């Protein structure tokens, strides 16, 4: 699970629980002006992930960490596909973040409001 907050023009993603260990990350901080878009997407769980390095992958159960697919670097931290949010980025190390949050619609709304 990831806790999302917005502070001083940054999108702050805090990885909680066992996800810290599985994803090998505690926190990501992204300038809001690097966020291209955000969607709640339960179908994201079935997206191709590519090569994992570093992280954890248990197909059909969880994906956590850094994955490389077709020249893109994507951060995953999803256990429950129904709570998946996809954040598209520009000018960042990661091109996309696929995260699990408690309330996807609220997170999408708050990020959209902040980047508007």
Structure tokens, 52 = 């994992």
Beta-sheet pairing, 72-78 with 96-100: parallel
User: Each residue of 3-55: pLDDT tens digit?
Assistant: 999 999 999 999 997 777 677 788 999 999 999 999 999 998 888 788 788 88
pLDDT computed for residue 90 by the predictor: 97
User: Each residue of 54-104: pLDDT tens digit?
Assistant: 888 888 888 999 999 999 999 999 999 999 999 999 999 999 999 999 999
d(CA 44, CA 37): 15
C-beta pairs of 67-72 under 8 Å, 24+ apart in sequence: 72/96
Extents of the domains making up the chain:
2-115
CA-to-CA dists, residue 115 to 27, 34, 38, angstroms: 20, 9, 10
Nearest to 38 by CA among 91, 116, 102, 109: 109
pLDDT computed for residue 80 by the predictor: 94
pTM higher than 0.85, yes or no?
yes
Question: Any residues with CB less than 8 A from the CB of 27 and at least 6 apart, and which?
Answer: 12, 13, 14, 15
CA-to-CA dists, residue 30 to 6, 47, 60, 95, angstroms: 10, 23, 28, 11
pLDDT computed for residue 83 by the predictor: 96
pLDDT computed for residue 24 by the predictor: 75
pLDDT computed for residue 68 by the predictor: 95
């Amino acid at each position: 699970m990831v806790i999302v907050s917005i502070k001083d023009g940054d999108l702050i993603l805090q990885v909680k629980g066992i996800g810290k260990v599985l994803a090998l990350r505690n926190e990501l901080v992204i300038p809001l002006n690097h966020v291209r878009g955000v969607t709640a997407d339960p179908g994201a769980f079935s997206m191709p992930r590519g090569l994992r390095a570093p992280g954890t992958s248990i197909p059909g159960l969880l994906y956590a960490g850094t994955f490389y697919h077709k020249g893109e670097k994507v951060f995953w931290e999803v256990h429950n596909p129904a709570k998946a949010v996809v954040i598209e980025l520009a000018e960042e190390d990661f091109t996309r973040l696929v995260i699990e949050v408690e309330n996807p619609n609220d997170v999408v709304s708050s990020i959209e409001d902040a980047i508007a």
